[in-house]
Amino acid sequence: MPVAINRRSFIAGGSATALFAPHLLRAETTDIPIVEMLNRHPENPKLRSVFTPRLLTVDAGQSVLFQATDNGHNSASVKGMIPKGAEAWKGKIGKDIEVTFSVPGFYGYVCTPHVSQGMVGMIAVRGDGMLDNLNAAQSVKHRGKAKGIFSEIWEEAEAKGLLS
């Protein structure tokens, strides 16, 4: 499961809380799942430039935080790989970005500088009409290693029963 932190309490808690009880910053949780942007995969350091987890399932209306744990990465939705009516996003390099997923379906995204090295991921958003953009999303062509990684992600999604 992704790690979740309570960013609201971080802000609301202010510096006094941070000074006296820094552990509290990580102790509370919310339901905001996190996708980390990393230079190396935590379990397989040979894998460079990865989103972890690269496939995440949420419910419609939930937000996801793409966290710039390592520098030099971003998260940007792929044209043709998000549902109709959904908003595209493009994070700044090295910055966190929080995205709310209102429309059910499959959202493919990439790291702009590392897409050809296979730094890609997907958010599967559960809800009515989730499968509506499946064919369109799977039909998008990819370059370099992105092609193979997206294939693996679709296989993972299939194995999790998300595609039927």
H or E segment to which residue 8 belongs: helix 7-20
Pick 95 or 126: Cβ nearer Cu ion = 95
Pick 35 or 111: Cβ nearer Cu ion = 111
Which residue number has the CB closest to Cu ion? 111
Pick 36 or 137: Cβ nearer Cu ion = 36
Measured CA to CA in angstroms, residue 41 lies from 49, 95, 147, 153 at distances of: 7, 19, 19, 15
Min dist. Cβ of residue 81 to Cu ion (A): 17
The answer to whether 155 touches 106, Cβ cutoff 8 Å, is: no
Q: Which spans of this chain sit near Cu ion (rule: CB under 5 A)? A: 49, 73, 111, 114, 119
Pick 52 or 62: Cβ nearer Cu ion = 52
Pick 120 or 125: Cβ nearer Cu ion = 120
Min dist. Cβ of residue 96 to Cu ion (A): 14
Cα(140)–Cα(150) distance, rounded to whole angstroms?
10
Min dist. Cβ of residue 74 to Cu ion (A): 7
Cα(4)–Cα(161) distance, rounded to whole angstroms?
24
Q: Nearest-CA neighbor of 67 among 91, 92, 95, 86? A: 95
Min dist. Cβ of residue 66 to Cu ion (A): 11
Min dist. Cβ of residue 72 to Cu ion (A): 6
Burial class of residue 140 in the structure, from the number of CB atoms within 10 Å of its CB (0-12 exposed, 13-18 middle, 19+ buried) = middle
Measured CA to CA in angstroms, residue 4 lies from 30, 157, 159 at distances of: 6, 22, 25
